[in-house]
Structure 1
């Protein structure tokens, strides 16, 4: 099964289930669950923006993700919800992080950017306590939104797990997700592989293959997809054999519907499983990993198309 097939099948599932990304009445509620409202929508926007950027306009995938991105933008009332969110939670960073995904694709709201810039100049904003990787993400979100970053990238990077070049045997799930997002922030979600600092790129080139193998062996499909996206975001990706094996294992875990579970064994339409035509997983159990499969596949396909790997490659 090709990388392209994984991408198209994943996008089929996302398109079919786009109602799962709709913002409900609780999107602006004081007790609303951000992880069930804004987080999925922001992730949809970021993946669609990234896939659109690395896909040629003549490709049908480009039109599909552009349509999904427009759908996501409409959910925000074309940006009108962002000022409302800021008025309710002035020092919450997630509105800006979600907005930055849209801004990177050209969907902007001048009023929100102006008010967000004012808040970003306050001491309260600069001193908000966050995990180092999140801090780096906020700095990047400010830049993508046309706001002067409140701190330098090298300083934020130095405090992250990956930025410290840790002992490779200390890798585990939390570190894995942290390192993937550091790479995404540094490379504009895979758009600029050359922006990776050389020492980090060399470190990942050496250690990413065994980490990826470990995650695939443990059936951690979501993290495996993110690591494959990292592989496609490096100036020099891992060897062809490593990536070919990883994509074959990932493709085998993808359901016929295009859905990919976050982890575990793939369900099928067996007698004790879902009937044919029914969703094999709950939306919350597979939407992120399915988006990441499309994202990683699109980046991989783009590298195959645009970069001479000196004989390296993965199945196209």
Structure 2
């Protein structure tokens, strides 16, 4: 997050943000991803955490870039049936940042048959449905039926996993759980499937130095119901740490400090760096929750006169080494800077 703060200017919307032939992948998409990750990190960190402060500062920056929502209203006028403005706006809306005129105009369009039958990739349909839910609009279709049309929803043969399927399945989970907020949004059959096959898929991606996709898969692991897989997390974070350079940046693929020169260009590492922070925040939050559940179970056993400790600590009362190492690697990945003068992040 320190790297993200130091590069916030490169997330800014330029004069071409509303241009007819502008590439939204280099204007709105990075800003929307910044907003979403900051919203998620705010949710999963304490208000006293410097990381929470950094996320709030960057989210406020992103909202100002949209004219506090006014540019969404203009986008809706220019492209009334485009879904990407709502998908980006929904992140802000979920944080309480709203624009009444945009919501009114979008609600009108969302009631049309044209909006409801727009042809989209199945995982994109889930994105729109979740965006409607987050923005307070009626869902135009059923989430379960939309899930059934996705690659993940079909519980495919695990050996058919490849890069494109990986990115598709991660976003299906993000939309089902509202970006890790509600793990129980993943149906049990899908959760069981992911608990079984996520470890080998993640191992494959790490071996191939697909750092960006590996971070997304780690975020999926932090979004699933049930106890975390401590062995998988420990090994994954140890390997991912080798790709992060001293500034905090993580390249999307390949090069890292483990025998390779780091990738410093913004386009080549902004998304993977954001996803590292997102995955680490989810990992830490799940581990804390797991520790709390284990402590509660141990107290219950103690109250009943049981001798067991519910697996929360070693025989000497200490936290298991594996868990400590997961905490350490995830915490390093989210190292944040307190905002400096003028609200700018302090680089490390």
TM-score higher than 0.5 here? yes
Question: Normalising by the residue count of structure 2, what TM-score does the alignment of the two structures yield?
Answer: 0.83
Task: Please show how residues 64-75 of structure 1 align to structure 2 within 5 Å.
Answer: 64-75=54-65
Q: Secondary structure at the match of 1:72?
A: helix
Conservation of the 8 A alpha-carbon contact between 1:205 and 1:238? no
Structure 1 portions without partners, runs of 5+: 1-10, 275-279
Task: Please show how residues 50-199 of structure 1 align to structure 2 within 5 Å.
Answer: 50-199=40-189
1:315 to 326, 330, 336: 326
Structure 1 residues 211-247: Cα deviation after superposition (integer angstroms, max 9, x where no partner): 0000000000000000000001111255211110000
Say yes or no: does 1:202 pair with 2:192: yes
Return the alpha-carbon distance in structure 1 between the equivalents of residues 289 and 87 of structure 2.
29
Aligned residues: 299
1:303 to 272, 286, 305: 286
Return the alpha-carbon distance in structure 2 between the equivalents of residues 155 and 33 of structure 1.
31
Return the alpha-carbon distance in structure 1 between the equivalents of residues 189 and 9 of structure 2.
43
The residue aligned with 1:286 is 269
The residue aligned with 2:222 is 232
Conservation of the 8 A alpha-carbon contact between 1:136 and 1:153? yes
Say yes or no: does 1:44 pair with 2:49: no
Q: Secondary structure at the match of 1:315?
A: helix
Alpha-carbon distance, 1:267 to partner:
5.4
Return the alpha-carbon distance in structure 1 between the equivalents of residues 234 and 45 of structure 2.
21
Alpha-carbon distance, 1:110 to partner:
1.1
Question: Normalising by the residue count of structure 1, what TM-score does the alignment of the two structures yield?
Answer: 0.91
Structure 2 portions without partners, runs of 5+: 295-310, 313-321, 328-348
Structure 2 CA distance for partners of 1:268 and 1:179, relative to 1, 3 Å: closer
Q: Secondary structure at the match of 2:69?
A: coil
Structure 1 residues 126-151: Cα deviation after superposition (integer angstroms, max 9, x where no partner): 11111000001000001101111110
RMSD: 1.6
